[in-house]
């Protein structure tokens, strides 16, 4: 079992935190509720998607060159990379030139997940983490994702190459032949990854990515958003 520090030693060793805006981060403790997943689109030297699963206070990570697919016939290569700190989940921004992974990053999708081979464990974090640890040793994970773009059951299966896994969609009602990566906007800020060359990054704490905290009653009255006229169509994350 890696020590808390050891878990992120590879992540830390690869980065110069006086030069990159990426979070230094630490192993998260005291988290409650369902486990979180995130997919970051990363316009590095080669465009790819970083698929990350929260487990034991860090984000298990894979780089998926073609991105995830909802198509059942597709097997997408997923190369395992170093564990990332939990805080990394909400990172959107620009990794400067000459730094490790230089290029733009957006949060392409996020949500909660649970292992799903032996029932769902959204309400039992300890059991969910136990099954994920077990799956990492065996080289086979089956997870139910509840994201904005990615939904349903997915498998990650390790190949004979230790770091190379395949990501594929299990058959369920969320299977689709549509190329999900064509939905190219950040689920946090509404921008496409190339927009980060022109607009500032949008940052929120990782803990705000998925619903959490105490439920509270709805306000008695909500003021509706009113329509407006505009001279031309526009795109703004505050509007649908």
Gap between the Cα atoms of 87 and 197, Å rounded: 23
Question: What's the closest the beta carbon of residue 87 comes to Mn ion, in angstroms?
Answer: 16
Q: Which of residues 38-67 bind Mn ion (CB under 5 A)?
A: 42, 50
Cβ proximity to Mn ion: between 42 and 121 the closer is: 42
Question: What's the closest the beta carbon of residue 30 comes to Mn ion, in angstroms?
Answer: 27
Gap between the Cα atoms of 133 and 139, Å rounded: 10
Gap between the Cα atoms of 205 and 75, Å rounded: 33
137-138-141 Cα angle (round to 5): 100
Tokens of 164: 């190379």
Cβ proximity to Mn ion: between 43 and 168 the closer is: 43
Cβ proximity to Mn ion: between 41 and 189 the closer is: 41
Phi, psi of 42 (to 5 degrees): -130, 110
Please report where in the chains the tokens 């770091």 appear, as a residue: 163
In sequence order, the 6+-apart residues with CB closer than 8 A to the CB of 35 are 53, 54, 55, 112, 113, 114, 125, 128, 129, 132
Question: What's the closest the beta carbon of residue 42 comes to Mn ion, in angstroms?
Answer: 4
Cβ proximity to Mn ion: between 52 and 121 the closer is: 52
Q: Which of residues 109-138 bind Mn ion (CB under 5 A)?
A: none
Q: Let me know: does 92 contact 205? Beta carbons within 8 Å.
A: no
Tokens of 86: 């939990």
151 binds Mn ion (CB under 5 A): no
Question: What's the closest the beta carbon of residue 49 comes to Mn ion, in angstroms?
Answer: 8
Q: Let me know: does 179 contact 64? Beta carbons within 8 Å.
A: no
Question: What's the closest the beta carbon of residue 40 comes to Mn ion, in angstroms?
Answer: 7
Question: What's the closest the beta carbon of residue 61 comes to Mn ion, in angstroms?
Answer: 8
Question: What's the closest the beta carbon of residue 105 comes to Mn ion, in angstroms?
Answer: 7
Cβ proximity to Mn ion: between 130 and 149 the closer is: 149
Gap between the Cα atoms of 106 and 194, Å rounded: 9
Size of the site for Mn ion (CB under 5 A): 2
Cβ proximity to Mn ion: between 50 and 116 the closer is: 50
Q: Let me know: does 142 contact 132? Beta carbons within 8 Å.
A: no
Cβ proximity to Mn ion: between 61 and 114 the closer is: 61
131: nearest Cα among 147, 117, 110, 145: 117
Q: Which residues bind Mn ion (CB under 5 A)?
A: 42, 50
């Amino acid at each position: 079992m890696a020590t808390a520090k050891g878990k992120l030693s590879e992540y830390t060793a690869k980065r110069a935190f006086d030069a990159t805006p990426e979070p230094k981060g630490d192993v998260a403790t005291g988290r409650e509720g369902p486990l979180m997943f995130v997919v970051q689109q990363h316009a590095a030297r080669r465009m790819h998607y970083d698929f990350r699963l929260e487990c034991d206070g860090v984000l298990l990570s894979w780089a998926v060159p073609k991105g995830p697919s909802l198509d059942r016939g597709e097997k997408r290569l997923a190369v395992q990379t170093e564990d990332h700190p939990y805080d990394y989940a909400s990172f959107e921004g620009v990794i400067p030139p000459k730094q490790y992974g230089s290029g733009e990053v957006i949060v392409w999708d996020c949500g909660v997940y649970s292992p799903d081979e032996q029932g769902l464990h959204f309400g039992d974090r300890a059991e969910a983490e136990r099954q994920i640890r077990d799956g990492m040793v065996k080289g086979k994970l089956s997870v139910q994702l509840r994201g904005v773009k990615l939904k349903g059951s997915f498998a990650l299966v390790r190949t004979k190459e230790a770091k190379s896994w395949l990501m594929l969609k299990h058959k369920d009602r969320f299977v689709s032949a549509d190329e999900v990566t064509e939905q190219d906007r950040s689920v946090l800020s509404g921008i496409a990854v190339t927009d980060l060359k022109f607009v500032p990054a949008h940052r929120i704490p990782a803990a705000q990515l998925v619903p959490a905290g105490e439920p509270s009653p709805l306000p008695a009255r909500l003021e509706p958003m009113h329509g407006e006229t505009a001279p031309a169509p526009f795109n703004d994350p505050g509007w649908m």
